[in-house]
Structure 1
């Protein structure tokens, strides 16, 4: 970088998105979610920076993970989130703006297969390679 060039600005929104993403992954891991997948959406979609998909063994576990996650986001980051599907808890969607979280029962997850829909990046003219970070 040239001597007189201004220092690059650190985007506070990016830092907040990363903190939220880390909190989501940590919370799901703590609650023993199954098959946690994080899909980076930055540059691919303007709906969010990340989509996180995970499964619970039962509707009770899915509902519990969703409730705990929304509480942690509120307590640690001061954010309110939107939640859909909690009463039935086959598929719960948590929209935290920068991170969208889908929590499924395994059968419902395999039926909708969101990873397949979202986890691809162009590599060549007709070649697609999955881009999925799992934990």
Structure 2
């Protein structure tokens, strides 16, 4: 894991934990996808919590100097994607995380539990 990516992931996970995110996981997809190197996955139990987790992650990472390249899904707050380049953060409502099941879709990825 690249040191910069490792630091970003650690800051993101801590930010998610600050907002009581559930089932925090990191998927290392660097060897199986050209899209990005890592997915960080969080779950929240309501749209309010999903938005709060995403806000906290974005705020803490931008404070640390990481550039948010793209954000999707914020208005609906069921699945918010925060693209930081080598690391993409996914903040799901619990029901949507179960439905989309990225862990199954990316089953060949190395899973790092936080």
| TM-score in terms of structure 2 length | 0.90
Aligned to 1:133: 112
Residue 32 of structure 2 contacts residue 108 of structure 2 at CA under 8 Å; is this kept in 1?
Answer: no
Question: After the TM superposition, which residues 1-135 of structure 1 pair with which residues of structure 2 at under 5 Å, given as runs?
Answer: 14-120=2-108, 131-135=110-114
| TM-score in terms of structure 1 length | 0.77
Structure with more relative contact order (C-alpha pairs < 8 Å, separation 6 or more): 2
Structure 1's consecutive aligned runs of 4 or more residues displaced over 3 angstroms after TM superposition are: none
Higher Cα radius of gyration:
1
Q: Quick one: distance in 2 between partners of 1:100 and 1:69? A: 11
Q: Secondary structure at the match of 2:68?
A: coil
Q: 1:117 to 1:76 in 2, by over 3 A?
A: same
Residue 39 of structure 1 contacts residue 119 of structure 1 at CA under 8 Å; is this kept in 2?
Answer: no
Superposition RMSD in Å = 1.7
